[in-house]
Amino acid sequence: MQINPLKFGSVEIALPVVLAPMAGYTDSAMRTLCLEQGAGAVYSELASAEGIRRDSGKTFQVLETAPGEQPIAGHIFGRDPQAMADAAKQVEQTGLFDWVDLNCGCPVKKVVSRGAGAALLKDLPHLGKIIEAVKNAVSLPVSVKTRIGFNQSTPNHLEIAKVVEESGADMVAVHARLAKNFHGGEADWGKLAEMKQSLKIPIIGNGGIDRPEDIARMFAATGVDGVMIGRAAIGNPWIFHDWQGRLEAGDTVVVLERREMMAEHLRRLVKLNELKQKQLKISYRYSPEEAACIQFRTHIPYYVRGMFDKKQLLMKLAQLTNVDAIMEEVDVLVAKNR
């Protein structure tokens, strides 16, 4: 399938199949793995504009990137237009990011209760003010990550598209579900197609991608300029090359390859935690290795899905905070599945 590069502002994504920002998952360790497996671009995890403006060390850690980790967007959230503009300036001044992305779709209660994220879909004039403020504050391109609506009684997808474009955004990424539904129910790709028809700026489609073949289906069904993959990439960075037919027909990622990817992911998490603990000179409850092993527990069910006795493995790993011990348990299951 022929896919054209996605261009907006100074950004060009050669192969516009990108990794979605996911809090608690898409840190630099996961992002670099996905880029190496063919992801066209990545986003930082969700960073608070107020935290950035207050120069919070922990917030800035969310914006840490690895050398060569590009193209990448600095992904921020907030409600106050001036705070968002100030934060965007600081994101730009790091020199780490290719564009600034505004979160206007996160449905998580602690974000929505602040009037940020998906809550902005209930007040489109205010959303427009935020986009305008950020656009006027930075020279980097500005994009918006949003949803097709908050619920059935709030502004619809075409109203959202109009405000995003008229307020000056260079690109929009849209999750094809209402915010109230989180990740439940069918993604409404028909609304993505309608938004594509109404917009002059590029649109990336998100939602309903469960397997590699869904990527080509979304391009064909909606006409979007790019596809964003979220949960389907957790424990499965290979999805970014599988859909392009780089694997032979009928081939799957073998057990040993999964094992090696898990080991590499763990190594990168350890390095990431070492860096974080050096930057913030405070006492930590866990060593970098222990913290990495704890963080990796959320990834393990996805890596072993359909291949190992997941319940048995997770029960054992819940007690382990040593990389070698974790990989020894994985190796026992690998030996049984070869």
The residues annotated with a catalytic role in the active site are: 106
Taking the C-alpha atoms of residue 139 and residue 94, their distance in angstroms, rounded to an integer, is 13
Of 7, 5, 4, the residue nearest 201 (C-alpha): 7
Coil, helix or strand at residue 278: helix
CA dihedral for 162, 168, 170, 176, sign (positive or negative): negative
* DSSP 8-state assignment for residue 233: G
Of 7, 21, 3, 1, the residue nearest 202 (C-alpha): 7
Alpha helices per DSSP H over 42-168: 49-53, 57-62, 81-93, 109-112, 124-137, 157-166
Enter the tokens of residue 5.
């590069």
Cα 56 off chain centre by:
22
* DSSP 8-state assignment for residue 16: -
Taking the C-alpha atoms of residue 214 and residue 249, their distance in angstroms, rounded to an integer, is 16
- Length of the chain in terms of residues written: 338
Taking the C-alpha atoms of residue 16 and residue 96, their distance in angstroms, rounded to an integer, is 20
The owner of tokens 């990622």 is 253
- The 10 Å Cβ neighbour count of residue 328 is 12
Taking the C-alpha atoms of residue 59 and residue 242, their distance in angstroms, rounded to an integer, is 34
